[in-house]
Chains A and B, each alone.
Chain A
Amino acid sequence: MPMPLADLESHLRAAFPDAQIAIDDLAGDGDHYKARIVSAAFAGLPRVRQHQLVYAALGGRMGGELHALALETAAP
């Protein structure tokens, strides 16, 4: 079951209120997105930890509602 882009964006904005967020819908099916997130929350963390924060923001939906989310994360 896909996730609308607006829902994905609102989950991410809720978790990273300071962030610059850009989301691309890669396949037009609501199931393959690419998100670039720049947030101070990522400062000093290894990439694995940064991405784990994003997955946590999605509250377990990754792998369920959402099949593929390509992530690019960085601190400002």
Chain B
Amino acid sequence: MTETTEAPGAHDFIAKTVADNEVVLFMKGEPDQPGCGFSAIVVQILDHLGVDFAGVNVLESDSLRQGIKSWSDWPTIPQLYVKGEFVGGCDIVREMFQSGELKTLLAEKGLLSN
């Protein structure tokens, strides 16, 4: 069962996932066991802010791993989506966190519990 090219199914899955979940992180590995340093940083930031999020491990499927890059026109993982909108990868999320913009964005969208 190998998927080596991006299938239409991947985009459908991504569309549904970002529609059904308010905060989605497409990442390498799982939230409790990230598979790469950049994904781990974003998980850490989201945990620090106390945000509930859905972690999607792109390593589980080649078609998903390629599909998420063509979906957002963004060549790398991790990718953070807030209410369906692509916010950025590790660099952008980190910059926004340090400036306070990320917390503001999440608060404005009613996503912070504290």
Contact = CB atoms under 8 A, between A and B. Distances in A.
Interface string B75-89: 110000000001111
B69 interface: yes
B50 to A, nearest CB: 23
B91 A51 contact: yes
B75 A55 contact: yes
A48 B75 CA distance: 12
The interface size bin for chain A is: 10 to 19
B73 A51 contact: no
Given A62-B75, A62-B76, A63-B75, A51 B88 contact: yes
Given A63-B69, A68-B38, A47 B76 contact: no
The interface size bin for chain B is: 10 to 19
Contacts of B90: 70
B92 interface: yes
A38 interface: no
Contacts of A48: 74, 86-88, 92
B91 A55 contact: no
Contacts, number: 30
Contacts of A52: 73-74
B95 interface: yes
Contacts of A55: 74-75
Interface string A55-76: 1000010110000101110000
Contacts of A72: 91, 95
A17 to B, nearest CB: 23
Contacts of A68: 38
The 5 closest A-B pairs by CB, nearest first: A62-B75, A63-B75, A47-B92, A71-B91, A55-B75
8 contacts: A47-B88, A47-B92, A47-B95, A48-B74, A48-B92, A51-B92, A63-B76, A70-B91
